[in-house]
Structure 1
Amino acid sequence: MNWLPLYFKPQGQSVLVFGSGDVATRKVRFLQRTEFPITVISIDETAKDRFTEFESVDVIHSTGLDSLSSQLFENVIFAVAASEDHSADVFFAQQARQAGIPVHVAHSIDDSDFLLPAVIDRGPISVAVSSAGQHPTLTRLVRNRIESVLPARLEALAELALRYKDKVREKLSTNNARRAFWERQLEGRVADLVYSGRDEDAERLLLESLDSIASSTQGVGEVYLVGAGPGDPDLLSFRALRLIRQADVVLFDRLVSPQILNLVRQDADMIDVGKRRSHHTMQQESINELLAKLAKQGKRVLRLKGGDPFIFGRGGEEIETLSEHGVPFQVVPGITAAAGCASYSGIPLTHRDHAQSVRFVTGHLKNNSSELDWPSLVAEQQTLVFYMGLVALPQIAEGLVNQGMSQDMPVAVISRGTLPDQRVLISSLSRVAADVTAAELKAPTIIIIGTVVNLHEKLGWQS
């Protein structure tokens, strides 16, 4: 590490910025996020007009660099040279150093004593990112990535924690106890309430948790019912990612991709409850009860389901059981397989020229049959999407044709959608069953039926 990250505290000292162009304006805008008084020095007579958008910024016009008074550098903590004239910036930097002031020269690492990093600001929490001036674009990308995973209301959570810091110290005597308490609150239900804008509920729960721990009683945990989407981890929501990383125990299905499971905390307990056709690792009723049991042990339980938990995911049955047991829970939607697979295949599920409606249908019913309301499925300007229909595909095709759907109706069968090894097979109702067998497509698959499938050849951006 060639540069040491430091934070300066404003204590009545000011900052000098030399320049009046776009670069100087950006530096002033950045520095205004702090409480430092800012003075701009410029040899441009019109400089004051450029800085009218900023409050409490003094602009001093100088007739030339040689005329700069040594008094300008008094009570200054650091200076920034950003005139876009390199020789002028270097000369200004030399004068600043002679006065004992460290200086940053824009676009010149070799002439700088320090760098101004990219900053993520969440009130009392801030993160500085720098590539030591070597690659600003990479710095910006890293900053954006960090920004994307920090909740927007992190500042409110930090302020809540600061208000109760002393009270927690009074109640919990050891560092280990305090650390464990804060980890649980800042990654658990209290944080979730703050992020949802329920500050009063969060404060009340924090106090209840503190009293509970201080009296050595075990509180009830919580269950997170989270949709993992169709497979690509980049399609996870910010909320889903946060809950995945804070869970104590995870119950996951077979449709959750390994890439997403790798995001789980290494010390979390992993329980595979995946179900395959005619083979259930654990019966649904047992899964429901296990969720309640683990939460009652005070654990943060993640129920991770492929796609969206409320679309053919039996999520409703699971939270019914939790409600009956009085276990707190929250539901995080995921991108359902139909939407994800269709998007990654270039097949819009609705299109003004093809379909004004879309129907999601399960090809694997509760009674283990594929008896469907066939007449209602055959309609003009409609897209059908079948989940779990690979085994019943011959019966699905036959049933639709028998109700009058054209044998030439386009069909797309998408295997392992959104993942690097995604496969898309385009066929027709009359040929699709044989084509799938010949191509040896494997589950999980989504089946899309309708004229929108014809758009795949033109819009298939992943191919």
Structure 2
Amino acid sequence: MSNASPSKLFPLFADLRGRRVLVVGGGTVARRKVEALLDAGARVVVGAPALEPTLAEWKANARIEHIEGVFAAQWLDAAWLVIAATDDVETNRAVVDAADARRIFSNAVDDAELSRFHVPARVERGPLQIAISSGGGAPMLARLLREELETRFDDSFGALAELLTRHRERIRARWPELGARRRGFAKLLSGPLQGLLRQRQHLAAERAFDAALREHETTATRGSVALVGAGPGDPGLLTLRALRVLNEADVILHDRLVSDEVLQLARRDAERISVGKHAGGGGHSQAEINAQLVALAQAGKRVVRLKGGDPFVFGRGGEELQALRAHGIGYEVVPGITAAIACAAYAGIPLTHREHAQSLRIVTAHGKDDIDALDWASLARGRQTLAFYMGVAGLDRIRERLTAHGLPAATPFALVENGSRPEQRVVAGMLADLPALARLHQVRAPALLVVGDVAAFANSLHWFGREPLTDASFTDAAAASPSLAAAA
């Protein structure tokens, strides 16, 4: 048995009504598969030397067809799917091989590697089905999740699905535009409809549905923009409000550094537009982004402007709101966890500490002119923490300015690359060695630079990902300094 991770499967729901499906095997396992197939309306053919009692009864009642004997490839004639449900591995393999030759999808029960499709664990509520799969690698986990979902979704969800299915054409006629339909659905489902169905008041639910449809029929579609902070990359750091807004969006304009894992949490059919800028220039200008936000909102779209970190911390969120306000467009701001907070936390660095740092300075060091404009004398004072954004290209100048204005060369630093993401790396050392260590370990953006005594905690309090990359000079400096030794 291979220890490789299960391959990612493509989920789909198959319409098997009236279609021939072959089940090879006549025992209890085969009977369970046949029962599910019959429930889906399939025309089931069972091939086996003998049938267990229930299958035999279904044969007698003409619910299934039976081919008696040992498997032969011609059994697959006209089949859409085949399930190998015998207790003999070689027979199951022969079934799968024959199906492969005919390009027919096959499943070998309890054999993930041999199967070409998997039957998921399911939660069923009328026409509503929730399917769960681990790719065949952890079926007990899928079953556990199914048990949890069984308790969360009561029968009212099935009744709701049936009601919406009956009135599908009316809904489409009332809200022909997809964005308006989605918003209408959101308001409809937040009303009393499901509560009435849960109480078995089906006539009252129908009346509530009709009233909701009439109410929304004349509602004008108005666009809006939500500035949403995506955090540093870990999707678990998104706020609940951010998740809700992402699932209501028609269009998502996202920065280059917004992680794929965060984007995957958005509504699947939302349009995604990358408007990221690049270090050193390139990409979309801020004026272009502002104009695009305005145009999309004026077209009636619900727009999410998704920014790495927090939109109001070096995210130009204020400029975008000014443009929206100037055009009378409604907006909201959903804060995100900014890089200084998240990267430091994932590196085990407390940004403030009563023995080492009583203040935090958040600084951008994007280019030469930005660096020259900073108050370096103030930044070089002790008992504070400096968090530099976008400073990878200017590490030599940062070190030179800080040491020239009196910050000791032995001050600890930590560079947190790809903070909170699986590929996170931390490079730690003393300020004198900052540029050399960054070059040695080939640090690349996005990376946050933390300077101050608290940066030494990266070596002792790390908890996420790999241990910090460092060299012996930091250990020597810590031993020579009581403040650093206490921190380390």
Residue of structure 1 equivalent to 2:417: 415
Match among 267, 274, 277 for residue 276 of structure 2: 274
Residue of structure 2 equivalent to 1:259: 261
Structure 2: runs of 5+ lacking an equivalent:
1-31, 37-122, 124-129, 133-138, 191-211, 467-488
Q: How far apart, in 1, do the equivalents of 2:408 and 2:174 lie? A: 68
Seen in structure 2, the aligned counterparts of structure 1 residues 460 and 311 have a Cα distance that, compared at 3 Å, is same
Q: Structure 1 counterpart of 2:365, which letter?
A: G
Q: CA deviation at 1:364?
A: 1.7
Structure 1: runs of 5+ lacking an equivalent:
5-118, 120-126, 130-134, 151-157, 192-208
Residues 409, 451 of structure 1: 8 Å contact kept: yes
Residue of structure 1 equivalent to 2:344: 342
Residue of structure 2 equivalent to 1:43: none
Match among 338, 345, 351 for residue 353 of structure 2: 351
Q: CA deviation at 1:220?
A: 1.9
Q: CA deviation at 1:399?
A: 0.5
Q: Structure 2 counterpart of 1:184, which letter?
A: R
Residues 365, 389 of structure 2: 8 Å contact kept: yes
SS in 2 for 1:302: strand
Match among 219, 232, 235 for residue 233 of structure 1: 235
Q: Deviations over 1:179-211 (max 9, x none)?
A: 7656313548997xxxxxxxxxxxxxxxxx988
Match among 441, 444, 447 for residue 446 of structure 2: 444
Q: Structure 2 counterpart of 1:185, which letter?
A: G
Match among 419, 428, 434 for residue 426 of structure 1: 428
Q: Structure 1 counterpart of 2:322, which letter?
A: E
Seen in structure 2, the aligned counterparts of structure 1 residues 343 and 228 have a Cα distance that, compared at 3 Å, is same
Q: Is residue 177 from structure 1 mapped to residue 176 from structure 2 by the alignment?
A: no
SS in 2 for 1:282: coil
Seen in structure 2, the aligned counterparts of structure 1 residues 138 and 211 have a Cα distance that, compared at 3 Å, is closer
**C-alpha RMSD of the superposition:** 4.2
Q: CA deviation at 1:218?
A: 5.0
Q: Structure 1 counterpart of 2:459, which letter?
A: E
Q: Structure 2 counterpart of 1:240, which letter?
A: A
Q: How far apart, in 2, do the equivalents of 1:393 and 1:303 lie? A: 30
Seen in structure 2, the aligned counterparts of structure 1 residues 395 and 421 have a Cα distance that, compared at 3 Å, is same
SS in 2 for 1:275: coil
Residues 272, 281 of structure 1: 8 Å contact kept: no
* Equivalences for residues 282-361 of structure 1 within 5 A: 282-361=284-363
Seen in structure 2, the aligned counterparts of structure 1 residues 145 and 404 have a Cα distance that, compared at 3 Å, is farther
Residues 212, 218 of structure 1: 8 Å contact kept: no
Give the total of aligned pairs. 314
Q: Structure 2 counterpart of 1:264, which letter?
A: A
Q: CA deviation at 1:212?
A: 9.5
Q: Structure 1 counterpart of 2:227, which letter?
A: L
Residue of structure 1 equivalent to 2:105: none
- TM-score norm. by structure 1 comes to 0.58
Q: Structure 2 counterpart of 1:297, which letter?
A: A
Q: Deviations over 1:413-463 (max 9, x none)?
A: 111111111010002111111111111111000000011111112110133
Q: Structure 1 counterpart of 2:415, which letter?
A: V
Q: Structure 2 counterpart of 1:278, which letter?
A: G
Q: CA deviation at 1:381?
A: 1.4
Seen in structure 2, the aligned counterparts of structure 1 residues 139 and 333 have a Cα distance that, compared at 3 Å, is farther
Residues 172, 181 of structure 2: 8 Å contact kept: no
Q: Structure 1 counterpart of 2:311, which letter?
A: P
Q: How far apart, in 2, do the equivalents of 1:444 and 1:146 lie? A: 42
* Equivalences for residues 28-427 of structure 1 within 5 A: 174-178=170-174, 183-187=182-186, 214-215=217-218, 219-364=221-366, 369-427=371-429
Residue of structure 2 equivalent to 1:35: none
Residues 364, 370 of structure 2: 8 Å contact kept: no
Q: How far apart, in 2, do the equivalents of 1:375 and 1:368 lie? A: 15
Q: Deviations over 1:345-397 (max 9, x none)?
A: 11111112211111100112695554311011122210000000111111111
Residues 254, 275 of structure 1: 8 Å contact kept: yes
Residues 343, 420 of structure 2: 8 Å contact kept: yes
SS in 1 for 2:332: strand
Runs of 4+ in 1 over 6 A off after TM superposition: 1-4, 135-147, 188-191, 209-213
Q: Deviations over 1:49-82 (max 9, x none)?
A: xxxxxxxxxxxxxxxxxxxxxxxxxxxxxxxxxx
Residues 363, 370 of structure 1: 8 Å contact kept: no
Residues 182, 248 of structure 2: 8 Å contact kept: no
Q: CA deviation at 1:223?
A: 0.7
Q: How far apart, in 2, do the equivalents of 1:190 and 1:403 lie? A: 61
Seen in structure 2, the aligned counterparts of structure 1 residues 227 and 376 have a Cα distance that, compared at 3 Å, is same
Seen in structure 2, the aligned counterparts of structure 1 residues 354 and 143 have a Cα distance that, compared at 3 Å, is farther
Seen in structure 2, the aligned counterparts of structure 1 residues 140 and 336 have a Cα distance that, compared at 3 Å, is farther
Q: CA deviation at 1:270?
A: 1.5
Q: Deviations over 1:208-238 (max 9, x none)?
A: x9889645x8532111110000001111111
Residues 184, 216 of structure 2: 8 Å contact kept: no
SS in 1 for 2:437: helix
Q: Deviations over 1:79-101 (max 9, x none)?
A: xxxxxxxxxxxxxxxxxxxxxxx
Residue of structure 2 equivalent to 1:124: none
Q: Deviations over 1:88-133 (max 9, x none)?
A: xxxxxxxxxxxxxxxxxxxxxxxxxxxxxxx9xxxxxxx9x9xxxx
Q: How far apart, in 2, do the equivalents of 1:400 and 1:322 lie? A: 39
Q: How far apart, in 2, do the equivalents of 1:145 and 1:453 lie? A: 44
SS in 1 for 2:408: coil
Residues 174, 217 of structure 2: 8 Å contact kept: no
Residues 366, 391 of structure 2: 8 Å contact kept: yes
SS in 2 for 1:276: coil
Q: CA deviation at 1:281?
A: 1.5
